[in-house]
Amino acid sequence: MGKEETLVSAGKVRRDTRDGVLILTIDNPPLATLTGDVRASLLDAFDSAAADESIDAIVITGAADVFAAGASAGEAVDAGAPDLAALCDRIEASDKPVVAAIRGSCLGGGLELALAAHLRVAHPQARLGSPEITVGLVPRAGGTQRLPKVIGGVASLKLLLSGRAIAGESGQKLGLIDILAPDDPTEMAVTAARRLATSQAAPRRSSERRDRLGEGTAFLEAVASHRQAAAKSPLDAPARMIECVEAALLLPYDIGRGLEASAYEDLAQSEHSRSLRHIFAAERQLQAATRWEGRVESRPLKSIAVIGARGEAAELVVLALDAGFEVTVAEDSDEALEGGVARIIEHFDARVAAGKITEDAVDQVLDRMNAVSGFGTLGEVDMVVDPSPATRSERIGELDAAMRAGAVLALGLADADLAEIAGKSGRATDVLGLRFPTGMRRNRLVEFSALPDTGPKAIATARAFCRKLDRLILDVEPSPEGVATRLIEALHAAADLCLEDGARVAQIDAALRDWGILHGSFRLRDLVGLARHSGPKGQEAKRGGGLDETLVAAGRLGMSTGRGYYVYRQRGKPGTEDPEVAAMLETDRTAKGIRPREISDGEVRKRCVSAMAGVGAEMLADGVIRRPADLDMVAVHALGFARRTGGVMFAADLLGLDTVRQLLQSMSQDSARIAPPSPVFHDLIRSGQTFESLNA
């Protein structure tokens, strides 16, 4: 190894020299983000190197296990910093060889920076990708123009439209990586840079390459296929991405880059991209909220018991088995236990049939499951989880008596005072609330309620359990109802009001589905079961009361009976509208003196968003949750809202808080199930703020 001399540490970019090679190390933890100061330091280093005759070549790398990542779309503009596109053009234009040494993550703007280099050296396990599509954007620094000229249009479309990262080894096969370095990419990059400098060959600039332009029919077929898929997407980004890649292979670089810049600016201002970026930031914020992790060691956690074998309990059993726990399934009766366990086994059999797991592997998983009737054997487990939202206090007494000292009891209560019941048990320091969502194999969020007397060991143990299940943990204050439950009930209340006023069942669900709520309101009730949902009792005769009780009284319980708000003639197929329900609705309107009117899909969405945001504002004011973004996490990760909605509170911001306030005021006069707007709205509107302002 040659002589090394540290020249300067310019803020977040270190400069070292080795045998005439300038090594620029981006040191901006945790992600080596290409913020304005980093870009300015890199540009200054290149300008200095160009004028320094002792520098023959340049290597760019990242500190630790990250190469670089692009700055967020919402980064404040720094008048003194170059934009990333200008920096990449400056790097590529260098007359001295530039080599990128890649270890760890090289994503987004980081990949664009690497593409601007003349040679790329990477560790086989480096992660290379362009995730912009996942937040509704295209690259903004020439990525859509350089990548196709390096790896071809077909591979570029696949990489850019998927948003997924590939390993360095795969990158070499595509031609994205020139040299694999199993040991130290920087060492090999320095060697390669010296070799390039000695050869005095002209730098190989990605934007000028023509060797990957001969794909012909294969590229045209790929474009047609991706364009067909993009036409079905609610987002604009896929179609704009395809346009940019086409331009890279058909137009001069400068024109293609201009097209890319225009696409980026348009998309960055779109509601869908703003919503997607908000959800991405909210997820990072939630994952960073490690109030207990690492501060207190959890108790040993090998075996758990789940109370119940149906519904959410069965889903939880499957998750726990997949996570490697020994699981005891406890039910009140032999009949309920037998039916529930049979459905759990059917789930694993379906995986075998789909080729996702072998029969031997299933046998090993099921060997860790023990099914019992009653609670007599719970004294052997480390934690008991009862996910039912309607657990009786008598059952909690039984569980408490059966459990050993130090075992954690996690309850999903939603209609009782959890803190009061825990206080009456013999283990108040080991009781807490865990509320899992319906469809928890898809919806990852869990509402975590530590009670006043819950001890730190119990909290740490329960959080360790949730993390092992790969859950997103949201800390909420104990309350009579779950956060997700209150939001979905607000959705149903607004949907019922729209139905009374003249909208159709299928119209309301379609409007909500197009916005991003998978099952809408009425199909969701049919799916869950109308008897289980059972809405607000005694409200039907009142304005906004809905039809739930009428349907249940008629034996229309939802999908399970083949009839609910819809008729289900074939298992697994969507339901169809039923004239009988329309007749019931007409009778209900007549009894309430309502003259139906035409209601647009837009009004349906505005009313439903406003009702949910109104309940969210109440929970903020009451301290049930800490940030509006937490409610958006519940919407996306507990209720299954599409990420493009931005969640409930961000959607209210986009709608306009004054509009939401007026809608709440109007709806509250028509429905006792919808409260007048919280003072939170008045305070935000008066100060010119939004819910997003409260997320800092």
- Residues 395-423 pLDDT 10s: 788 888 899 999 999 988 755 577 777 77
Query: Which of 67-81, 271-285, 560-574 comes out lowest in average pLDDT?
Result: 67-81
pLDDT at 541: 55
- CA geometry: angle at 361 spanning 358 and 367, to 5°? 140
Taking the C-alpha atoms of residue 360 and residue 351, their distance in angstroms, rounded to an integer, is 12
- Residue 527 pLDDT > 70, yes or no? yes
* Maximal CA-CA distance, the chain: 92
Taking the C-alpha atoms of residue 628 and residue 647, their distance in angstroms, rounded to an integer, is 9
Taking a C-beta distance cutoff of 8 angstroms, is the pair 12, 183 a contact? Answer: no
Would you place residue 538 in the very low, low, confident or very high pLDDT band (cuts 50, 70, 90)?
Answer: low
Taking the C-alpha atoms of residue 23 and residue 684, their distance in angstroms, rounded to an integer, is 49
- What pLDDT, in 10s, does the model give residues 473-495? 999 988 778 899 999 999 999 99
Q: Per the structure block, which two tokens stand in for 272?
A: 């869908």
- The DSSP bridge partners found for residue 57 are 21
CA atoms within a 13 Å half-sphere pointing along the CA-CB vector of 588:
25
Higher pLDDT, 79 or 544: 544
Would you place residue 631 in the very low, low, confident or very high pLDDT band (cuts 50, 70, 90)?
Answer: very high
Taking the C-alpha atoms of residue 361 and residue 365, their distance in angstroms, rounded to an integer, is 6
Q: Any residues with CB less than 8 A from the CB of 281 and at least 6 apart, and which?
A: 72, 629
| Mean pLDDT in residue range 446-457 | 92
Task: Kindly state the percentage of the chain with pLDDT values over 90.
Answer: 76
- Residue 168 pLDDT > 90, yes or no? yes
pLDDT at 77: 44
Domains of the chain by range and CATH? 4-266 (3.90.226.10), 303-480 (3.40.50.720)
- The DSSP bridge partners found for residue 474 are 447
- Residue 534 pLDDT > 70, yes or no? no
pLDDT at 76: 44
pLDDT at 291: 54
- What pLDDT, in 10s, does the model give residues 333-389? 888 899 999 999 999 999 999 999 999 999 999 999 999 998 888 999 999 999 886
Task: Kindly state the percentage of the chain with pLDDT values over 70.
Answer: 94
Taking the C-alpha atoms of residue 561 and residue 572, their distance in angstroms, rounded to an integer, is 13
Specify the pTM. Answer: 0.91
Burial class (CB in 10 A: 0-12, 13-18, 19+), 390: exposed
Query: If you count DSSP H runs as helices and E runs as strands, how many of each does the chain have, helices first?
Result: 28, 22
| Mean pLDDT in residue range 54-58 | 96
* Averaged pLDDT of the chain: 91
| Mean pLDDT in residue range 226-235 | 96
Which residues are identified as catalytic?
112, 132
Q: Per the structure block, which two tokens stand in for 670?
A: 């028509």
- Residue 293 pLDDT > 60, yes or no? no
Helices (H), 502-600: 505-515, 522-528, 530-533, 548-553, 579-592
- Residue 450 pLDDT > 80, yes or no? yes
Q: What are phi and psi of 326, to 5 degrees?
A: -80, 125
Q: Beta-carbon neighbour count of residue 207 at 10 Å? A: 21
- The DSSP bridge partners found for residue 584 are none
Count of all residues that appear for the chain in the document: 696
E strand or H helix at 61: strand 57-62
Cis previous bond, 82, omega within 30: no
Query: Which of 78-82, 197-201, 658-662 comes out lowest in average pLDDT?
Result: 78-82
- Residue 136 pLDDT > 90, yes or no? yes
| Mean pLDDT in residue range 620-643 | 95
- Residue 10 pLDDT > 60, yes or no? no
